[in-house]
Structure 1
Amino acid sequence: MRRTAAALGATIMLSACAWSNAGLPASADETTEDARDSDVILNMFQWSWTSVAEECGSTIGPAGFGYVQVSPPQEEIQGTEWWTSYQPVSYQIEGKMGTREEFAEMVQKCDEAGVGVIADAVINHTTGADTGAGTGTAGSSYALDDFPGIYGPEHFNDCREDISDYTDRDNVQNCRLSSLQDLATGSEEVQDTLAAYMNDLLDMGVEGFRIDAAKHMPAEDLAAIKSKLSDPDVYWVQEVIGAAGEPIQPSEYTGTGDVHEFDYGRQLKSAFGGSIAGLDSIAEGKLDSEDAGVFVDNHDTERNGETLNYKDGDTYTLANDFMLAYDYGRPSVYTGYTFEDFDAGAPGSTATEVGDASCGAEEWTCTQRLPEIQGMVAFHNAVAGTEVTDWWDDGDNNIAFGRGEKGFAALNNTEGEVTNTYRSSLPAGTYCNMAAGTDCTETVTVAEDGSFEAVVPAKGAVAIDVEHME
């Protein structure tokens, strides 16, 4: 049953009961007693709640992912375009992805599969000023500076113009991002409203947040909001797109949680489009590993050309292999749908609803179903907590490295297979090649001195670890 905006107004002011459950590790290099078995996040862009629930049990949990990141769970404006999900009308958990009941069931089913849920939280703004008035996907009305029972003119920043100068901190954090009505997140009343929404999600079992457009909110505002949560130590990762010469930098936001390291994905695109030999220095000049959320692509960068995406085929898969094999940041694997039109919503979308995802249909990328990805998630989990050792490269597009005495990976970014002898710190034995999948159809034999010969396929990898041996 869909609740009215008036009912929401009463709901969001209720103080949430304290809720605790397994959280993400404190950092990419640390674990806590009650943490999920893996820190790998699967970003499920525009997947309905019922589709996520089903996939958690059938694929995501068994594959070893620790978390799923889901699209924003709030009422949004109507429209088939994907970006309508990022224009909140109210904080009802009723929207295009499904109902409140379906969301709660998704969280429960994912938890039963060993998977936590991270919610994409849109708290910087509401709807676009250019859209004027309308009715949201759950029936709530809205207009310029007017969200009945939630926000009025006093809850928005005074600047009513679009951002025009990214070298001006005040302009970036107080004016409108692409016409989106900018909330006055420094206001305690706004902070209370946003914290109540997030506490509602925590009460439902959500274990973390991705903070959309974090760059457009002062870091101290976000710290104040987080302090009002029922679990102020809850994991979150913040979207802060850094650029040289700008006054607002990702490092400002690490005090409250992880920050997405956009330069990581950019460098992967450059390297896999040229030479991967220099990837041993990929952490240089970036956020500390324990503060960085990393990805090959996300819903924005796959569309704007900033990173690789599914259209890059085997190169894209290989870049994900590297991310899962190497020791830097907290990895997020992306799964969405195919597109030609930048604005196109998920397959079968209507103005108020997103249809269920289907991995049997070509329109959905279903990266999590690829044998290579599932195998590399298992490899990542097996070598967690180890440093990169025994780096080797040919100066161009073949690299190899160990993960201490637990694992070893070799990547070939050329169009032909490569046979090579590698030297590892692994004990002797016969190992499953996890880069080929989890069924151990391919094996590698390591000698007493840690050396082994392997044939690395074109645009492919070999990855072995001590937890997956014959």
Structure 2
Amino acid sequence: MRNKRYLRGILAILLALVLTLQILPQQATSTITSQAATTNSLANVNTRDGLIIQMHMWSFNNIKSKLPEIAAAGFKAIQVSPIQGAKNSSEWWSLYQPINQSIGNPLGSRQEFQDLCSEAEKYNIDVIVDVIMNHVANQGKGQEDVVSDQVSSEFKRTDFYHNKGQCSDWKNRWAVTQQGIGMPDLNTQSSEVQAKAISFLNDCIACGADGFRFDAAKHIETNVGEDANKAWAGNYWTNVLGNLTNKNVFIYGEVLDEANSESDNIQGYASFMSVTDHYYGSTLRNAVKSSNLSVAQNWNVNLPANRRVSYVENHDNYEHNESGINDDQRKIAWGILAARDNVTPMYLSRRTGSMGSVGTTDFENTEIAAVNWFHNAMIGQSEYLRYSNNNSCMLVDRGRIGTAIINEGGSFYLSSATNLTSGTYTDNGGSGATFNVSGGTITGNVPGNRIIVLYQDGINPTPSTSPTVTPIGDVVKVDPATPVVGQPVSITYNATGRSLTNSSNVSLHWGYDNWKNPQNVPMTKISDNTWSVSVTVPESATTSLNLVFTNGSVWDNNSSANWSFTVSKQSSPTPTPTVSPIPSQKVAYFDNSSTNWNNVNVYVYDESGSSVKQVAAWPGVAMTKESNGLYSYTLSEDWNTGTTRVIFNNGGSSQIPAAKQTGYLLEGKMIYQNGNWIIYNGNNPVQSVVAYFDNSTYNWSNVNIYVYDESGTSVKKVAAWPGVAMTKDSSGLYSYILPDGWSTTSTRVIFNNGSTQIPSANQQGYLLQKSMILRNGTWSEY
């Protein structure tokens, strides 16, 4: 709700040619082709990483009828218009003037909402509800402070409201949170008002809601940031969000950063939820209006990683005639947004008729769907932006495996630097355009007014006819020989004579059941060209464990056959593998060096009984920091081996395993370290040397690190200038783990964004002797 005084207001279809989330590299010089995806492509995407479509004013039944097309277009979540009882009116804004906190209004009944949620689940689509918790409907123009006669009697109590009048000073934080925005302002510090909100939100969850957009969120006070220790501070967000029955729902708030940081407190809200980067939409629209796409390079506000929700336009922009762009411009602007990293993009289906009618369906456009699936497939890949065709074309590189070319201008011949792996690529958006990448340069003819989507061959691996492929010789060994579901498995890789011979680092790229939930795990070098790692076979695995190996640029995928090992549901009768015995004492350890959380909690639970047993309600209990830097928590003896599970979290939105995933099975002493859940043998783990970079001072859109060592007869380097992209972690810092084999007495680093560098040109890089950080211009021990 904008802060203005005026009144506001089963699987029947094969999906289109799109990407899946599974990323399986093939040979670098192969031809890149698209593959068909199924609805399972959305199964492992979470809402925060995926894309949202706002079904503005659509009825629940009309949305339900379009679910196959929405899934085919690659949207992970739908956002429905407010579902609360609303002021009697045919105008769109009436839904934003609620008369109660109950489900059901002209868009549909409670049962129809439940039916929508149930059907959406079949397509792996989440349902986000737009909720209005800040205010209720007013009596009409000139009576903004008066509670409407239509408001439910339970909300007629005077003490349920702030009763401070209407806001006129949008730069005054007290006024923004304690006065109205055109409607009676609920007293959100009241425990009774909070209790009603909790009851309503949990009822939505019980009906199948997977997330919430809090309308006018910045008008509900916090107890952090600019509100901390202020007279108006309140515990609304802590109490309400902390009492939701499902802690894994996606939450974001409408926080319009349009006055100044003191009145908006956007960073404070970002500590509780994702927030809107509302005015980046204006930036996008200005970029396409001017045909200068470089205008869209910088975000409107600095936000923590994975806390940004943005859009080309939302219902407010559209209904207030603020968009001012045509359909082609809207497509190009969306292409930019959907191709980028560190954002949850939201697409608007515009209202076309009366309340409940079907809105625009341009989301079915082939180019829109192609860039959507590109976004889903590039999760976790850093971005690098370039421009061509007089800035009317933007190239968005995602790691080395994908590039989106968004061209608003006319057709032209492209010759540009690129991060893509060498090879021949064909547009997955249907234009038929092909591009060649060689020596870090991409060339080819770009069609006019087009979104081009290129990605590395093998992103969607073709399942083999048999779940088991016999390993070649002794290249790959697993212990036990038949991995057991829910149990650790040790994987050893011998790179001798193969494509990864003499690599300084090797990672395992693995999945299960023909490449479900693929992920990368760094391996430990145990001898020359021999690497090892332990992972836990997911309990959902039914057929196979799938493996390939990489050093970040070169891959060993067994000549495209991959390695696959049959998994068992129970322990194999073969001899017990040689592992450390599981002690009777149950201790969970957490290595915080890669997450850098300020708070480390563990949520302990057991679902084997008739009810869930837990040490403490979410987020659990604080872990103890040991002298070796690890965090630990020791369980009492009454917790069962084989059924006790743990989830690590920072007390906010970050958790391991991720939301909606089963916690780790705790058997004896175990540790989460470097992405692995493994048995802890009591020895201090080897501490990696890590370079950190605090980008808050520089605000670079790309952060690279150039690593080199001049102590030998020739310069040793991880990669040619500008080096490699750094990883942005949950705390907002960028980090890079120094590979094994690098000296801690002569290795130096230079940070850069591709053009600007620190230290500056012609200066020696920083010496990396231990884990160090560059913060506010100072290089110091981390």
Counterparts in 2 of 1:34 and 1:418: CA distance versus 1, 3 Å: closer
Report the TM-score, using the length of structure 2 for normalisation.
0.48
Counterpart residue type for residue 222 of structure 2: A
Q: Helix, strand or coil for the counterpart of 1:410?
A: strand
* Pairing partner for 2:188 from 179, 182, 185: 185
* Pairing partner for 2:114 from 73, 94, 104: 104
Work out whether 1:387 is the aligned partner of 2:398.
Answer: no
Aligned residue for 2:260?
245
- In the TM superposition, residue 295 of structure 1 has moved relative to its aligned partner by 0.7
Q: Give distance in 2, aligned partners of 1:270 and 1:131.
A: 34
- Count of residues in correspondence between the two structures: 403
Q: Give distance in 1, aligned partners of 2:45 and 2:406.
A: 34
Aligned residue for 2:64?
53
Counterpart residue type for residue 399 of structure 1: M
Assess if the C-alpha contact under 8 Å between 1:163 and 1:171 holds in 2: yes
Residue deviations 1:122-175 (CA, integer Å, cap 9, x gap): 110110232799xxxxxxxx845963134411111121x221111222222122
- After superposing the two structures, state which structure 1 stretch, 96-105 or 228-237, moved more: 228-237
Aligned residue for 1:16?
none
Work out whether 1:453 is the aligned partner of 2:463.
Answer: no
Assess if the C-alpha contact under 8 Å between 2:50 and 2:345 holds in 1: yes
Aligned residue for 1:263?
279
- After superposing the two structures, state which structure 1 stretch, 213-222 or 255-264, moved more: 213-222
Matches within 5 A, 1:289-304: 289-304=305-320
Q: Give distance in 2, aligned partners of 1:373 and 1:468.
A: 19
Counterparts in 2 of 1:157 and 1:392: CA distance versus 1, 3 Å: same
Identity of aligned residues (%): 24
Aligned residue for 1:20?
none
Aligned residue for 2:452?
462
Matches within 5 A, 1:177-256: 177-178=181-182, 180-220=183-223, 221-245=236-260, 247-249=262-264, 250-256=266-272
Q: Give distance in 2, aligned partners of 1:82 and 1:33.
A: 34
- In the TM superposition, residue 107 of structure 1 has moved relative to its aligned partner by 0.2
Q: Give distance in 2, aligned partners of 1:238 and 1:326.
A: 21
Counterparts in 2 of 1:285 and 1:146: CA distance versus 1, 3 Å: closer
Aligned residue for 2:432?
442
Counterpart residue type for residue 329 of structure 2: T
Q: CA RMSD in A?
A: 2.8
Matches within 5 A, 1:40-79: 40-56=51-67, 58-79=68-89
Counterparts in 2 of 1:396 and 1:232: CA distance versus 1, 3 Å: same
Counterpart residue type for residue 336 of structure 2: F
* Pairing partner for 2:104 from 74, 94, 100: 94
Question: Greater helix percent: which structure?
Answer: 1
Residue deviations 1:24-71 (CA, integer Å, cap 9, x gap): xxxxxxx99784696111111111101111111x21122221111111
Assess if the C-alpha contact under 8 Å between 1:118 and 1:208 holds in 2: yes
Q: Give distance in 1, aligned partners of 2:311 and 2:279.
A: 10
Counterparts in 2 of 1:391 and 1:280: CA distance versus 1, 3 Å: farther
Aligned residue for 2:345?
331
Aligned residue for 2:326?
312
Counterparts in 2 of 1:43 and 1:277: CA distance versus 1, 3 Å: closer
Q: Helix, strand or coil for the counterpart of 1:282?
A: coil
- In the TM superposition, residue 202 of structure 1 has moved relative to its aligned partner by 0.7
Q: Give distance in 2, aligned partners of 1:389 and 1:396.
A: 15
Work out whether 1:426 is the aligned partner of 2:420.
Answer: yes
The answer to which structure, 1 or 2, has the higher relative contact order (CA under 8 A, 6+ apart) is 1
Q: Give distance in 1, aligned partners of 2:173 and 2:385.
A: 44
Q: Give distance in 2, aligned partners of 1:146 and 1:98.
A: 19
Q: Give distance in 1, aligned partners of 2:370 and 2:80.
A: 23
Counterpart residue type for residue 209 of structure 1: F
Work out whether 1:396 is the aligned partner of 2:425.
Answer: no
- In the TM superposition, residue 204 of structure 1 has moved relative to its aligned partner by 1.2
Assess if the C-alpha contact under 8 Å between 2:99 and 2:150 holds in 1: no
Q: Helix, strand or coil for the counterpart of 1:401?
A: strand
Assess if the C-alpha contact under 8 Å between 1:277 and 1:393 holds in 2: no
Structure ID, larger Rg: 2
Counterpart residue type for residue 92 of structure 2: W
Aligned residue for 2:747?
none
Aligned residue for 1:344?
none
- After superposing the two structures, state which structure 1 stretch, 283-292 or 120-129, moved more: 283-292
Give ranges in structure 1 of 5+ residues lacking alignment.
1-30, 134-141, 339-346, 358-363
Counterparts in 2 of 1:458 and 1:329: CA distance versus 1, 3 Å: same
Report the TM-score, using the length of structure 1 for normalisation.
0.79
Counterpart residue type for residue 331 of structure 1: P
Matches within 5 A, 1:4-23: none
Residue deviations 1:300-325 (CA, integer Å, cap 9, x gap): 0123354x46x522111000001011
Aligned residue for 1:153?
158
Counterpart residue type for residue 397 of structure 2: G
Assess if the C-alpha contact under 8 Å between 2:388 and 2:414 holds in 1: no
Assess if the C-alpha contact under 8 Å between 2:77 and 2:125 holds in 1: yes
- In the TM superposition, residue 99 of structure 1 has moved relative to its aligned partner by 0.8
Work out whether 1:171 is the aligned partner of 2:184.
Answer: no
- In the TM superposition, residue 95 of structure 1 has moved relative to its aligned partner by 0.5
Q: Give distance in 2, aligned partners of 1:99 and 1:36.
A: 25
Residue deviations 1:330-358 (CA, integer Å, cap 9, x gap): 111111224xxxxxxxx144xxxx34x1x
* Pairing partner for 1:82 from 83, 87, 92: 92
Q: Give distance in 1, aligned partners of 2:132 and 2:278.
A: 19
Aligned residue for 2:290?
274
Q: Give distance in 2, aligned partners of 1:267 and 1:390.
A: 16
Q: Helix, strand or coil for the counterpart of 2:290?
A: coil
Q: Give distance in 1, aligned partners of 2:151 and 2:460.
A: 58
- In the TM superposition, residue 386 of structure 1 has moved relative to its aligned partner by 0.7
- In the TM superposition, residue 452 of structure 1 has moved relative to its aligned partner by 4.0
Q: Helix, strand or coil for the counterpart of 1:126?
A: coil
Q: Helix, strand or coil for the counterpart of 1:247?
A: helix
- In the TM superposition, residue 406 of structure 1 has moved relative to its aligned partner by 1.5
Counterpart residue type for residue 43 of structure 1: Q
* Pairing partner for 2:127 from 112, 117, 131: 117
Assess if the C-alpha contact under 8 Å between 1:145 and 1:181 holds in 2: no
- After superposing the two structures, state which structure 1 stretch, 76-85 or 219-228, moved more: 219-228
Question: Greater strand percent: which structure?
Answer: 2
Assess if the C-alpha contact under 8 Å between 2:280 and 2:300 holds in 1: no
Counterparts in 2 of 1:448 and 1:270: CA distance versus 1, 3 Å: closer
Counterparts in 2 of 1:288 and 1:455: CA distance versus 1, 3 Å: farther
- In the TM superposition, residue 379 of structure 1 has moved relative to its aligned partner by 1.0
Q: Give distance in 1, aligned partners of 2:46 and 2:96.
A: 30
Give ranges in structure 2 of 5+ residues lacking alignment.
1-41, 224-235, 463-782
Assess if the C-alpha contact under 8 Å between 1:428 and 1:448 holds in 2: yes
